[in-house]
Amino acid sequence: MISCREAAQLISESYDRQLPLRQRVALRLHLLMCNICPRFLQQMLFLEDAAKRYPEETEREEPAPPFSLTNNAKEKIKKALAEGRPGSGPN
């Protein structure tokens, strides 16, 4: 059985990549047996929700937060993508 430390690392990684079956099973088993790690999983779920909303929530604030692109920059990127600059992607 994997340790809580390993489980916590796998929980984090599950947000970045599809875990191999073996690790998924090991994590599930651990979560069934452990009464602490499910709390960490809940915290990570919350953190993901919060992180998704962070850029829009802090956009309204002045000055622009240092952790996200400015609206202006986002518009420019969107525009560049829409124009389909050569070599910028399959479209």
Partner 1 sequence: MVGGYSQTQNYYFRKNSREAPIGDLTSSESASEDLFTVNGKWKIKPASWGGNPKDALEKKQFWQTFEGCMTSLPLRLAQVFALREFEDLKSEEICNLLKISMTNLNVALYRARLRLARCLETNWFGKEGEENHDLL
**Minimum CB distance to partner 1 smaller for 25 or for 47:** 47
Closest approach, Cβ 91 to partner 1, in A, equals 17
Closest approach, Cβ 37 to partner 1, in A, equals 8
User: Residues interacting with partner 1, by CB under 8 A?
Assistant: 3-6, 8-9, 12-13, 15-17, 36-37, 39-40, 42-44, 46-55, 57-58, 61, 65-70, 72-73, 76-77
* Spatial distance between the Cα atoms of 15 and 18, rounded to a whole number of angstroms: 8
CA torsion sign for 9, 40, 22, 16 is negative
